[in-house]
Chain A
Amino acid sequence: MTYHLSRNGQPTGTCTKDEAIARYARGEILPTDLVWAEGMANWTPAAQVFGAPAPQPPPSPATPVPPAPAPVTPLPAPRPGGDAGKPANSLVWAILATLLCCLPTGIVAIVYAAQVDSKWNSGDRFGAETAAKNAKTWCWVSLGVGLLVNVGFGIVYAIMVSQAIATGGGY
């Protein structure tokens, strides 16, 4: 069973149940952190999932540990399968690169964007993150080559036009 964790509305990763219990006991997971796992209706504070917080050695005996602030924006309940922590697939950039940069590299970015979701859904977290990185990289490659080629064409164009004007030829 995979536990999805979040703090202050931001996903902080996933781990197994045993890991989560151990990290909760060590104080790495706060009682106010939200937890969600398959079968749970909603994100739930860790204190409700794992019981009362384990006694922590206080930083100084005189000052009580202030309670951690409640999460500002609770995450929406994830759909079955769990999208919390899923890497961004950058599909918007990939589409724009394909349509605007006029490059086959945009299609490569879309291929990787598709892999992000398929790998994530098959439980391959590492593969999904690698694909997300590749998708982003190829969007940048598209933008870079697109700019380079178009500026290059622009310069060649400008030279052609200025020569045509200089020689008085009909352009």
Chain B
Amino acid sequence: MAALAAAITLVHLLGARPPAWYPPCWFHRATGLHCPGCGSARAMHALAQGDLARALDQNLLAIAMLPVLGAWAIVTARRVWRGGAFSASLPGGWAAAVLVTVVVFTLLRNLPWWPCTLLAPE
């Protein structure tokens, strides 16, 4: 948690423009297509700047997944705290929903027409 807070603060202090050393997506370099993760680093950067609109514009899926991952982190932390086993599982049926979401999202963000172009990162 402290590391996460420090990382967010650091990114916040680094300024409004994502620095050039952010690792580029090799899949995008190689194919020109946007993978489901393209723009997620920029989205997190924008979020650390408090710019939710730009974050959503960069990678809607990554921002939408944040509450899911956050809820999982809290539930798991509480379970481990109480002596339970660590598990990276999410409830049954979620995987299928995530799969459909990721595939549809990836297809849509690569279509060249408005409003699909809104889903593509900058």
Contact = CB atoms under 8 A, between A and B. Distances in A.
Contacts of B26: 102, 149-150, 153
Interface in A82-104: 83, 86, 88-96, 98-104
B69 A116 contact: no
A100 B69 CA distance: 13
Nearest to B86: A88
Given A91-B89, A92-B89, A101-B37, A114 B96 contact: yes
A99 B102 CA distance: 10
A30 interface: no
Contacts of B48: none
B27 A103 contact: yes
Contacts of A118: 96
A140 B72 CA distance: 20
Among B28, B84, B90, the most chain A Cβ lie within 10 Å of the Cβ of B90
Contacts of B98: 91, 94-95, 110, 113-114
Contacts of A99: 36-37, 40, 59, 61-62, 65
B90 A157 contact: no
Contacts of B77: none
**Of residues A90, A92, A154, which shows the largest number of chain B Cβ atoms within 10 Å of its Cβ?**
A92
Contacts of A100: 37, 40
Interface of A: 10, 72-73, 83, 86, 88-96, 98-104, 106-107, 110-111, 113-114, 116-118, 120-121, 149-150, 153-154, 157
Given A73-B83, A114-B95, 20 more contacts: A89-B88, A90-B89, A91-B89, A91-B94, A91-B98, A92-B90, A99-B36, A100-B40, A102-B25, A102-B37, A110-B99, A110-B102, A113-B99, A114-B98, A117-B92, A117-B96, A150-B26, A153-B24, A153-B26, A154-B21
Interface of B: 21, 23-28, 35-38, 40, 59, 61-62, 65, 68-69, 72, 82-85, 87-90, 92-96, 98-99, 102-103
Query: Which 6 pairs show the lowest CB-CB distances between chains A and B?
Result: A114-B95, A117-B92, A113-B95, A102-B25, A150-B23, A92-B88
